[in-house]
């Protein structure tokens, strides 16, 4: 969509600056009166199968470099040729819709000294509720044609809440589009226009991309149709806050509001991703952009075409990042993996034997570094599939098999981290649970008072201590023994209301 963007909420990730956020680059809603001028270039001939010739040698291994590993010559792709071959299949998407706003029926906001103030007050109905009215909105984004009969891929947030979607080609023809389906979890939408013999883009593979490889984007930033920008792949498999099911391609390609839904090309002119988001403190491009891998998009497209909606696998766990304190507590070699804070009752993880305090190290053989890697890997699996989990439990590795369920509402919520500060003692006064205090807690000890290291870590009176370092606690003596034997830190599993969370507490 076009101009105003909505911040995607971040959940206190280490790498996220407090004032920065992830922003969809499809363009948000603008007022109906705010018009935006755009200019479309003439249509270029589409020759998707013609290879792009190399342009020039730009880097050679320096003669002074060690001869053991010479740097190969790097050849720039012909960006002009890629654009000429593919530009005609990139479209501009215009969206109109409406939003509800509230208006309170009351006397006009006039100064009490105004001579008309008392006059207008006569017509005010005391206690009259706010009245809602709809305000028209408009926005713009990008998309690209994937079949000659008018099938188009774009971002879900581009067409969110749309009442009318118009697609404009580079030859200036416009078509009303039908939204066949939209998947907010992956931010992919599929559109259809009634047209024939359209130029379609050739799809490649994001798996073949290498970090540092050249890529090119075509889209409509700020409504400027068929704008081209280029850069390199900065990282692969990037998991973002709340973007649970997508292992993003990170690039330094200039992407701005209106670029959302446009294609990301490799050096051979093949589509490897859909431009989706930027990481920004200002709302505009600041050097980091993210694209949805084309394999994710085509999978969603096939599901929408086949059944009208996308389906996602569900494991049924609440997870946390493993920091150094947790790694010390669970005797891990390094802080990596997804720490299981809670397991959904009777869910796929519970049936597989996964427990609170387990650390998931691998999913189907793929290593998990940050906890957000697990949902991204889960997004590549299918409901009903049997997944292999490598976990860390009680100081050793184990393997579990989990038959994945189907996601309805988002289940893989990340638990908020509680930061701990070094201290010498645990500082908890504990007592057994009374019968009326259980409130769903499966055993544990009530925190009667909290001080010292535990209080600084976030433990509060009234919390229920369920486990230490993954071992369920049943007595105060057991807690004393575990703490006395601990080296640097302990991980406390605490229940507060219905929520469970691991809290790292440094004691040495």
The predicted model gives 450-479 an average pLDDT of 84
Model pLDDT, residue 459: 87
Kindly state the tokens that stand for 82: 């890629």
Distance CA(239)–CA(232), nearest Å, equals 18
pLDDT at 346 over 70: yes
pLDDT at 290 over 90: yes
Higher-pLDDT residue of 330, 135: 330
Under the banding of pLDDT at 50, 70 and 90, the label for residue 485 is confident
Distance CA(313)–CA(349), nearest Å, equals 12
Model pLDDT, residue 177: 96
Distance CA(138)–CA(149), nearest Å, equals 27
The model's pTM? 0.65
Distance CA(412)–CA(190), nearest Å, equals 25
Just list the catalytic residues: 157, 187, 260
Could you tell me the CA-to-CA distances from 133 to 100, 103, 108, 442, 482 in Å, in that order? 5, 7, 18, 49, 61
* Cβ atoms of 85 and 269 closer than 8 Å: yes
pLDDT tens string 375-431: 888 888 889 999 999 999 989 999 999 999 988 744 444 444 333 333 336 788 888
pLDDT at 301 over 90: yes
Could you tell me the CA-to-CA distances from 246 to 243, 300, 309, 338 in Å, in that order? 6, 11, 17, 17
Distance CA(356)–CA(393), nearest Å, equals 10
Under the banding of pLDDT at 50, 70 and 90, the label for residue 29 is very low
pLDDT at 343 over 50: yes
pLDDT at 6 over 80: no
Kindly state the tokens that stand for 317: 């766990």
Under the banding of pLDDT at 50, 70 and 90, the label for residue 445 is confident
The predicted model gives 338-348 an average pLDDT of 87
pLDDT at 48 over 60: no
Distance CA(447)–CA(463), nearest Å, equals 5
Model pLDDT, residue 59: 42
Under the banding of pLDDT at 50, 70 and 90, the label for residue 475 is confident
Distance CA(339)–CA(369), nearest Å, equals 11
| Parallel/antiparallel/unpaired status of strands 21-24 and 7-8 | antiparallel
pLDDT at 43 over 50: no
The predicted model gives 253-276 an average pLDDT of 95
Model pLDDT, residue 477: 80
Which among 263, 311, 313, 298 is positioned nearest to 190, based on CA atoms?
298
Model pLDDT, residue 334: 92
Work out the mean pLDDT of the chain and round it to a whole number: 78
Range among 23-37, 87-101, 275-289, 293-307 with highest mean pLDDT value: 293-307
* Cβ atoms of 131 and 108 closer than 8 Å: no
Could you tell me the CA-to-CA distances from 415 to 28, 217, 449 in Å, in that order? 29, 35, 24
Model pLDDT, residue 113: 56
Higher-pLDDT residue of 160, 420: 160
The predicted model gives 241-266 an average pLDDT of 88
Under the banding of pLDDT at 50, 70 and 90, the label for residue 161 is confident
* Cβ atoms of 58 and 76 closer than 8 Å: yes
Model pLDDT, residue 217: 97
pLDDT at 500 over 60: yes
| Portion of the chain with pLDDT greater than 70, in percent | 72
**HSE-CB of 268 using CA atoms within 13 angstroms:** 11
Distance CA(369)–CA(328), nearest Å, equals 16
pLDDT at 350 over 80: yes
Q: Where are the beta strands (DSSP E) in 222-353?
A: 227-240, 243-251, 263-265, 271-280, 289-293, 313-314, 317-321, 338-343
| Portion of the chain with pLDDT greater than 90, in percent | 39
Helix (H) or strand (E) holding 98: strand 90-104
| Sequence-separated (6 or more) residues with CB below 8 Å from residue 443 | 433, 466, 472, 473, 474
Higher-pLDDT residue of 346, 112: 346
Distance CA(256)–CA(28), nearest Å, equals 12
Under the banding of pLDDT at 50, 70 and 90, the label for residue 213 is very high
Distance CA(334)–CA(322), nearest Å, equals 9
In terms of Cβ atoms closer than 10 Å to its own Cβ (0-12, 13-18, 19+), residue 63 is exposed
Model pLDDT, residue 370: 86
The predicted model gives 8-36 an average pLDDT of 40
| Sequence-separated (6 or more) residues with CB below 8 Å from residue 330 | 322, 339, 357, 359, 392, 395, 469, 470, 491
Could you tell me the CA-to-CA distances from 453 to 117, 351, 429 in Å, in that order? 61, 36, 12
Distance CA(67)–CA(122), nearest Å, equals 92
**Domains observed in the chain:** 1-32+43-48+73-310 (2.40.10.120), 313-406 (2.30.42.10), 428-506 (2.30.42.10)
Model pLDDT, residue 13: 30
């Amino acid at each position: 969509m076009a101009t105003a963007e909505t911040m995607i909420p971040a959940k206190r990730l280490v790498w996220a600056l407090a004032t920065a956020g992830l922003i969809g680059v499809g363009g948000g809603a603008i007022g109906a009166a705010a018009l935006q001028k755009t200019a479309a270039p003439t249509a270029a001939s589409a020759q998707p199968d013609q290879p792009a010739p190399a342009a020039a040698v730009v880097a050679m291994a320096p003669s002074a470099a060690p001869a053991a590993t010479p740097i190969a010559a790097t050849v720039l792709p012909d960006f002009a040729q890629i654009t000429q071959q593919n530009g005609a299949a990139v479209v501009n998407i215009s969206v109109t819709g409406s939003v509800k706003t509230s208006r309170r029926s009351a006397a006009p906001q006039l100064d009490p000294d105004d001579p008309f103030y008392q006059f207008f007050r006569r017509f005010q109905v005391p206690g009259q509720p706010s009245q809602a009215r709809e305000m028209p909105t408009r926005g713009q984004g990008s998309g690209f044609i994937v079949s000659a009969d008018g099938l188009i891929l774009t971002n879900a947030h581009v067409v969110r809440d749309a009442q009318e979607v118009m697609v404009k080609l580079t030859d200036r023809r416009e078509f009303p589009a039908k939204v066949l389906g939209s998947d907010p979890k992956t931010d992919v939408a599929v559109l259809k226009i009634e047209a024939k013999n359209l130029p379609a883009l050739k799809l490649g593979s994001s798996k073949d991309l290498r970090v540092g490889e050249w890529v090119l984007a075509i889209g409509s930033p700020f409504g400027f149709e068929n704008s081209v920008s280029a850069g390199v792949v900065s990282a692969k498999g990037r998991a973002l806050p709340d973007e649970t099911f997508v292992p993003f391609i990170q690039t330094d390609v200039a992407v701005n509001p209106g670029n959302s839904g446009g294609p990301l090309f490799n050096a051979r002119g093949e589509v490897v991703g859909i431009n989706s988001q930027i990481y920004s403190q200002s709302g505009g491009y600041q050097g980091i952009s993210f694209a949805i891998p084309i394999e994710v998009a085509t999978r969603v497209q096939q599901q929408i075409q086949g059944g009208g909606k996308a389906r996602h696998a569900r494991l049924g766990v609440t997870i946390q990042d493993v920091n150094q304190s947790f790694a010390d507590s669970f005797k891990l070699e390094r802080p990596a993996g997804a720490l299981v804070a809670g397991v959904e009752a009777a869910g796929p993880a519970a049936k597989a034997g996964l427990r609170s305090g387990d650390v998931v190290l691998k999913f189907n053989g793929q290593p998990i570094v940050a906890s957000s890697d697990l949902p991204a890997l889960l997004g590549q699996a299918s409901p009903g599939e049997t997944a292999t989990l490598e976990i860390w439990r009680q100081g050793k590795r184990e393997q579990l098999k989990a038959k994945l369920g189907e996601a309805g509402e988002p289940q893989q919520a990340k638990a908020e981290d509680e930061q701990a500060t070094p201290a010498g003692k645990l500082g908890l006064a504990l007592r057994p649970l009374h019968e009326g205090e259980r409130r769903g807690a499966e055993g544990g000890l009530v925190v009667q008072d909290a001080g010292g290291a535990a209080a600084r870590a976030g433990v509060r009176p009234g919390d229920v201590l369920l486990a230490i370092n993954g071992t369920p606690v049943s007595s105060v003596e057991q807690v004393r023994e575990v703490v006395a034997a601990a080296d640097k830190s302990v991980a406390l599993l605490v229940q507060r209301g219905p929520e469970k969370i691991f809290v790292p507490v440094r004691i040495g």
